[in-house]
A and B are shown apart, each in its own frame.
Chain A
Amino acid sequence: MAAGYDRGQKGRGAYAVEAEGLSFAYGSLAVLRGVSFGIRRGKVTTLLGANACGKTTLLRLLCRDLLPASGRVLLDGGDIRHIRRRELARRAAIVHQKNSAPDDLTVKRLAAYGRLPHQSLFRGRTAEDERKIEWAMERAGVLDLAETPIGTLSGGQRQRAFIAMALAQDTDILFLDEPTTFLDVRYQIEILRLIRELNEAHGITVVMVLHDINQAAMYSDEVLGLLDGGLLVSGPPSEAISAESIDRLYGIRLDVREDRESGRKWVLPV
């Protein structure tokens, strides 16, 4: 079923995150059935699939927000279950789809929460922390909103404020669950460009869930297509995205075109 992943052949280190035979069920409802793949270090990988195909569950398993019924997740080659909570928070950050915070919390205080995994009871905020908080807000484009209460932000600004919190964690891996949902097209593109930029400028490995096939094709190095709790396709978008794979993933026949110069795939949703 799955293509392209074989641990034996590739040297350790090429993958930042690996899934080995991941299964998960909510009660008697099986969501994932033995999924295996590797997330390439320093690349942007996007999970695609229809609603309720297990994308979000898979993402939560990858960052240990959930534990699998069987199988395991490796982070930099080590079993994620053996990593301590705070250590994990220093190595991987996640921006969830649903976020809440008190209305009067300022953007800067939210971003500062991202430094908590690096602080301890006896070592408060340092100059290094301050620098990282500034950097995170600057990268996420909310530096001029630092003292603005979250409650007064627009949807796009809010999302970027939560991304700033994740960036302040200063991790090598960033997970994002549908970072563009609820945003209008301008903010969607803004967020995706930001993610691409972070990946290119800082080598951050990005794993995200997206709904828009064109955005996935445009902003990812690799896509993983999930169908009924299994991996249907994986690989660069130019190979993995085709009329056939879209049909099987989403159950709809779409016109898939290829840009002759860049080789980039795009679909006409008609």
Chain B
Amino acid sequence: MAGRRLLTGLGLCLILAAMTFCLSLFAMKSGSISVSWGELADGLFRAYDANVAAIYDLRFPRILVALLAGASLACSGLLLQAALRNPLADPGIIGISGGAAFTAALIAGFAPMLFFMIPVFAFAGGLLSFLLIYSLAWKGGLDPVRIILVGVAVSAVFAGLTSAMSGMSNASGVSLSVSGLSQRSWDDVRLLAVYAAVGLAAALLLSSACNLLALEDQAVRGLGYNVDALRFLISCAAVLLASSATAIVGVIGFLALLAPHAARRLIGSDHRVLTPFCMLLGGFTLLLADTFGRLVAAPLEIPAYVTMSVAGGPFFIFVLRRGGGRFGGRI
């Protein structure tokens, strides 16, 4: 019967995967260049077609980047919530994205030849701010509220530094802003795919560890585990995912908070199915937000982070009000 629960979960994952696939097809076809399904298929698989080639170069990377970044951010939020046993843990709120964005901007502005290394530097920045938060908030234990307070402070410092730097560099003509999901190339896809693959695979491997951390630390220690090591591993995977996504698409709020909560309501707290479901939900949501923003006021574009914030806020409140009191695997 426990197996049936798992099967139901996997079934829901498959349904969401199918929905994501359909949404991707729709996003491929829709936009300022309009083609029919037949033209699209012909252009992709049979003969060269200028319109389809433009779609291949412009929309495909954008869709893939949205899926990968969405999955990474959602999964990062899920891992952080498990590792810190904190329902409010979100890489954006506690400053990991801020640290990552700052180092990414630093490299983009002052050492652009290291383009392919940007996610690595972003990871270093994200890890730095995570360790900063962890050590500042640690007082013989991790108090959820203190983590958030310290995180907000760290986040503000990095956001300020990033603004200050882009102010300086605007004068010198170098743009540091990471521009969301528009103008994405296949290079971005390849870059993000490498880091996302590592992070997402780690997240799947760590799903049992995430389950364990829902128990009290003492209980996990009593089962023969090094709780601190587990927590650190999970956090590192979360930081890697959030940092590489932030390095490519900039800071996108809410997704990392919203997707895990919505996923938990839909599928329960077993990370063995929750983790893949949350990844799919993150990719689906960001692609939906981006496609919506692209189409709703065409030819103008509403950036995905704007759509996410405007639609995500109310939706998040709705989800929390509907679901009663269960937060992040606590009782």
Contact = CB atoms under 8 A, between A and B. Distances in A.
Q: Do A and B come from one complex?
A: yes
Nearest to B329: A102
A106 B2 contact: yes
8 contacts: A85-B224, A89-B223, A99-B216, A101-B331, A102-B268, A104-B269, A113-B212, A114-B223
A88 interface: yes
Given A65-B218, A96-B216, A108-B2, A103 B223 contact: no
A89 B212 CA distance: 15
Given A101-B331, A106-B2, A169 B223 contact: yes
A105 B219 CA distance: 15
B interface secondary structure, majority: loop
A176 to B, nearest CB: 12
A174 to B, nearest CB: 11
B330 interface: yes
Given A108-B2, A113-B215, A100 B223 contact: no
B56 to A, nearest CB: 42
Contacts of A113: 212, 215, 223
Interface string B292-331: 0000000000000000000000000000000000100111
Contacts of B222: 63, 65, 89, 93-94, 96, 166
Given A102-B269, A147-B1, A90 B224 contact: yes
Interface of B: 1-2, 5, 212, 214-216, 218-219, 221-226, 268-270, 326, 329-331
Contacts of A104: 268-270
Interface string A77-110: 0000000011111100110101111111110110
Interface residues of A, number: 34
Given A147-B1, A147-B2, A151-B331, A99 B215 contact: yes
B214 A101 contact: yes
A177 to B, nearest CB: 9
B326 A109 contact: no
A114 B223 CA distance: 7
Interface in A153-180: 162, 165-166, 169
Nearest to A110: B215
A70 to B, nearest CB: 20
Given A103-B331, A108-B2, A89 B224 contact: yes
Contacts of A151: 326, 331
Contacts of A85: 221, 224-226
A117 B223 contact: yes
A116 interface: yes
B223 A116 contact: yes
Contacts of B226: 85
Contacts of A63: 222
A116 B215 contact: no
B141 to A, nearest CB: 12
A92 to B, nearest CB: 8
Contacts of B212: 113, 116
B218 A88 contact: no
A98 B219 CA distance: 9
Contacts of A96: 216, 218-219, 222
A149 B155 CA distance: 38
A94 B220 CA distance: 10
A93 B218 CA distance: 11
Q: Which of B223, B225, B270 has the most CB of A within 10 A?
A: B223
A96 B223 CA distance: 12
